[in-house]
Amino acid sequence: MAIPSSGTPSPSPRILVLGIGNILWADEGLGVRAVEAFHKAYEVPDNVTILDGGTQGLYLVQLVNEHDRLIVFDAIDYGLEPGTMKVVEDDEVPKFTGAKKMSLHQTGFQEVLSAADLMGQYPERLTLIGCQPLDLEDWGGPLTAPVKAAIPAAVETAVRVLRDWGVAITVRPEGAVVPPLLENDIDYEHYERRAEPAR
Amino acid sequence: MAIQTPNGFTLDNSGKRIVVDPVTRVEGHMRVEVNVDENNIIRNAVSTGTMWRGIEVILKNRDPRDAWAFTERICGVCTGTHALTSVRAVENALGITIPDNANSIRNLMQLALQVHDHVVHFYHLHALDWVDVVSALSADPKATSALAQSISDWPLSSPGYFKDIQTRLKKFVESGQLGPFKNGYWGNASYKLPPEANLMAVAHYLEALDFQKEIVKIHTIFGGKNPHPNWLVGGVPCPINIDATGAVGAINMERLNMVTAIIDQIIEFNDKVYVPDIMAIGSFYKDWLYGGGLSGKNVLAYGDVPQRANDYSEASLRLPRGAIINGNLAEVHPVDHADPEQIQEFVTHSWYKYPDESKGLHPWDGVTEPLYELGPNAKGTKTNIGQLDEGAKYSWIKAPRWRGHAMEVGPLARWVVGYAQNKAEFKDPVDKVLKDLGLPVAALFSTLGRTATRALESSWAGHEMRHFQNKLIANIKSGDSSTAHVDRWKPETWPKEVKGVGFTEAPRGALAHWIKIKDGKIDNYQCVVPTTWNGSPRDPEGNIGAFEASLMDTPMSDPTQPLEILRTIHSFDPCLACSTHVMSPDGQEMAKVQVR
């Protein structure tokens, strides 16, 4: 996948790195888990917001409005091999989210983008980092192996996009204490530790 | 062949069958099938939902103090309400009390969620069932301004303002993408508003979209972050340090002033925009009084918003509590969540298995064992259902019943209970709306009544927020800055085996969680959510649920455009995505729309 160069970025564009999905629903949780992994591995400057959007749908519109550029992690059904990553950019994103059976949050997220557009706040740059899920029906289940395996590549893609946008992000030093994005036993490790696989 | 249900509906499934939406389990979708007679009047209704109810699978053996974080993720729109219900269930089980400040802060968060959900639901998910967006393009901005100024002194009402909105809308429509407005049944004969009212509503759609971000700031202030604010068993996680300046996370006077200012804005928006819009829209739809369903018969409210911390009795709850049966408003029955005879869930028509399906199970003893099978009269396959067989199992939603009765829950249920209890804060606004529209009390039991009471409740909630904000500030000023009780935080202090129940009134209706705790871990956890009540399938006696009942006897302008079905189902604010496909009886797709 090619990440086209972005030209000259405006000084400190406000950037939102967003993960969406339902962590209780196996591979549906990919988007949130990817943004969680990104947050754990990288430190970002103040103009970048890292957000676990869950399944908030239209409620996310103000966050889109408040930022100039947007990176979204999401589980997307492209009909490809499970774990296959696909990156879609800018004008292509609404087209993809509008296609039948694409993003599992297509209604929600498409509405968010449309609403932002209607309010005159459409993001100037937009990257959707999608990953083909295997199992969406395993309520309470963990991420499946191929999707879990795709997380590092999804995170690296976001890193490349951000660097391409001129954002100085840095790898967190080993052993650094990172304030968790998800707490109370629903962080990835604790959730996975006790989640039962499909019966 | 017509069948009479015990709860008073005549079902006839001999006419043309209209199917709305295929069943999918992604994010919890719902599907409705109706039969219409030769005059396109709905004579049979079948509602099915795909909410898979297996939260106990996830929560089993986890720490009860973390349960709120999981339940907050069940649903994208009820997050905080599930968290509040969960911490109340754990506190109830373990005998943990909360300080007065925590009670006020929880009420402020719950009421903020109520207002936020009601405003977003009405303007962004439901208004377009009443408002024809395309018609707004032909409105006269000057006449729109005159209309707006005749109903409210809200300042955004000049001809120039509406002209600008119209230009933006026109650009949007001409670009070929209708965005959030796409897939509407624009031009359908069931749309009754003049172009000017439609344009005014579109302007307020945009204003509400902008305004809702202010409301959720209250969650960020008290819950530390949003989305997914923090909650705590034993109180609230935010410390109070009233004299602090800029302390991270602590509630100080500056933050409290911010909350006060948002509450003022909420009250103003409700009273100058939301409620007047409902009255304006209602005045054009007062002949369309379909959709009452169970609301005039059986309604249930658990009550919420305790005035006194730790007092969940009816006398302390500021949202009404009680059950009304067979339309007898003279008698409001007490509700007891712990009584095994009152709330029970049945699965005769749900895709689950009980040892004896003629009996219901109280949630403490609830089991969730899936059994997915289609009835003999179903069409299609298990992965591609053409038509459901409502004589057999047909929904992933269980059928909860109160003393055997199918019940409606939600704003209308709450307000009917409050009305029946002669509580002025509920009765007076309802009587005023009815009087202003020239309608009898019976008109309340309708789709319009459901939509109107939601607006009245949003207004009520704004004023309640002011009450609890004043109470919070007064209590802090009296020297009490306690926000959590931690004396029973450690599992070593807990009994070996206990059970509890927590309840709230979610925006869309009565919500409760039942928990069993054993050796410090969760042993069983059952949620009965509002949409389980409203969206329930039939029970062993043949009683139909609230969604199904609400569709009965409604005429459709055009059966290929299920506008009336969506209008009524949306009026419940179901916590299910609702995308629709209209199929002809031979399975051909006639029309398709995604609504939510």
Closest CA to B576 of B20, B1, B14: B20
Strand ranges across the sheet with A48-54: A48-54, A15-20, A69-75, A125-131, A85-89
Identify the DSSP state of B49.
E
Q: H/E/C letters for each residue in B219-287? A: HHHHHCCCCCCCCECCECCCCECCCCCCCCCCECHHHHHHHHHHHHHHHHHHHHHHHHHHHHHHHHHCC
pLDDT score at B178: 61
For chain B, say whether A181 makes contact (Cβ under 8 Å): no
Among partner residues A65, A118, A140, which is closest to B58 by beta-carbon distance?
A140
Cβ–Cβ under 8 Å, residues B593 and B580: yes
A residues 48-77 near B, CB within 8 Å? 52-62, 65
Tokens of B174: 């001409």
Among partner residues B70, B75, B213, which is closest to A186 by beta-carbon distance?
B70
Domain ranges of chain A: 15-174
Report the C-alpha gap between B326 and B368 in whole angstroms. 30
CA B336 to chain centre: 22
Superfamily of domain B97-290: Cytochrome-c3 Hydrogenase, chain B (1.10.645.10)
Instruction: Tell me which chain A residues have a C-beta less than 8 angstroms from the C-beta of B25.
Output: 136-137
Inspect the interface and report whether the beta carbons of A62 and B213 lie closer than 8 Å: yes
pLDDT score at B595: 29
Report the C-alpha gap between A39 and A47 in whole angstroms. 14
Closest CA to A75 of A30, A25, A126: A30
Among partner residues B74, B179, B579, which is closest to A117 by beta-carbon distance?
B179
pLDDT range class, residue A105, cuts 50, 70, 90: very low
pLDDT score at B369: 84
According to DSSP, the residues that pair with B497 across neighbouring strands are: B518
Residue A189 burial by Cβ neighbours in a 10 Å radius (0-12, 13-18, 19+): exposed
Rounded to 5 degrees, what angle do the CA atoms B74, B77, B83 make? 55
pLDDT score at A8: 44
Identify the DSSP state of A76.
B
H or E element: which one contains B546?
helix B546-551
Instruction: Tell me which chain B residues have a C-beta less than 8 angstroms from the C-beta of A139.
Output: 52, 54, 57-58
Report the C-alpha gap between B513 and B527 in whole angstroms. 4
Report the C-alpha gap between B431 and A46 in whole angstroms. 53
Inspect the interface and report whether the beta carbons of A114 and B596 lie closer than 8 Å: no
According to DSSP, the residues that pair with B235 across neighbouring strands are: B232, B484
A vs B, Cβ pairs < 8 A, gives: 104
Among partner residues B57, B77, B209, which is closest to A61 by beta-carbon distance?
B209
Among partner residues B65, B73, B172, which is closest to A118 by beta-carbon distance?
B172
Report the C-alpha gap between B251 and B230 in whole angstroms. 14
Report the C-alpha gap between B122 and B125 in whole angstroms. 6
For B590, list phi and psi in degrees, rounded to 5. -95, -40
pLDDT score at B255: 93
Cβ–Cβ under 8 Å, residues B473 and B307: no
For chain B, say whether A198 makes contact (Cβ under 8 Å): no
pLDDT score at B52: 58
Q: How many Cα atoms occupy the beta-carbon half-sphere of B17 within 13 Å?
A: 20
The predicted model gives A37-52 an average pLDDT of 95
Residue B203, SS3? helix
Instruction: Tell me which chain A residues have a C-beta less than 8 angstroms from the C-beta of B73.
Output: 22-24, 54-55, 186
For chain B, say whether A115 makes contact (Cβ under 8 Å): yes
State yes or no: pLDDT of A36 exceeds 90.
yes
Instruction: Tell me which chain A residues have a C-beta less than 8 angstroms from the C-beta of B594.
Output: 107
Residue B359, SS3? coil
What is the ipTM for the molecules in this complex?
0.85
Those residues with Cβ within 8 angstroms of residue B575's Cβ, 6 or more apart along the chain or in another chain: B28, B75, B77, B78, B508, B529, B530, B531
Q: Find tokens 């004008």 and name the residue.
A: A91
Tokens of B391: 């004589």
CA B586 to chain centre: 35
pLDDT score at A56: 78
pLDDT score at B576: 58
B519 min Cα distance to partner chain A (Å): 17
Q: Find tokens 């709305």 and name the residue.
A: B20
Helices (H), B286-423: 411-420
The domain made up of A15-174 is a member of CATH 3.40.50.1450: yes
Minimum Cα–Cα distance from B578: chain A residue: A107
pLDDT score at A7: 43
Inspect the interface and report whether the beta carbons of B180 and A184 lie closer than 8 Å: no
Q: H/E/C letters for each residue in B112-151? A: HHHHHHHHHHHHHHHHHHCCCCHHHHHCCHHHHHHHHHHH
Residue B239 burial by Cβ neighbours in a 10 Å radius (0-12, 13-18, 19+): middle
Identify the DSSP state of A57.
G
Minimum Cα–Cα distance from B54: chain A residue: A139
Tokens of A23: 């962590």
Q: Find tokens 């939902």 and name the residue.
A: B49
Inspect the interface and report whether the beta carbons of B209 and A115 lie closer than 8 Å: yes
Inspect the interface and report whether the beta carbons of B76 and A183 lie closer than 8 Å: no
Neighbours of B406 (CB within 10 A): 29
The predicted model gives A3-32 an average pLDDT of 75
Inspect the interface and report whether the beta carbons of B76 and A137 lie closer than 8 Å: no
**Amino acid identity at A64:** V
Closest CA to A109 of A155, A60, A36: A60
Model pLDDT for residues A151-197, shown as the tens digit of each residue: 999 999 999 999 999 999 999 998 888 888 998 888 988 888 765 54
Report the C-alpha gap between B358 and B373 in whole angstroms. 18
Q: Give helix B159-174 / helix B195-215 axis angle, nearest 10°.
A: 90
Q: Could you check whether the bond before residue B227 is cis, i.e. omega within 30 degrees of 0?
A: yes
pLDDT score at B95: 97
Tokens of A189: 């490790």
The verdict on pTM exceeding 0.90 is yes
Closest CA to B399 of B210, B559, B548, B235: B548
Cβ–Cβ under 8 Å, residues B412 and B352: no
For chain B, say whether A41 makes contact (Cβ under 8 Å): no
Contacting A with CB below 8 Å, chain B residues are 25-27, 52, 54-55, 57-58, 61-63, 65-66, 68-70, 73-77, 79, 120, 124, 168, 172, 177, 179-180, 206, 209-210, 212-213, 216, 227-228, 230, 577, 579, 594, 596
Model pLDDT for residues B201-222, shown as the tens digit of each residue: 999 999 999 999 999 999 999 9
Among partner residues A107, A118, A195, which is closest to B206 by beta-carbon distance?
A118
Tokens of B150: 């005749």
Residue B92 burial by Cβ neighbours in a 10 Å radius (0-12, 13-18, 19+): buried
Which of A32, A49, A55, A190 is the best substitution to test chain B (most B C-beta atoms within 10 A)? A55
The string of DSSP letters for B553-572 reads: T-B-S-TTS-HHHHHHHHTT
Identify the segments of chain B with pLDDT beneath 70. 21-29, 50-54, 76, 176-180, 182-183, 246-249, 576-596
pLDDT score at B246: 59
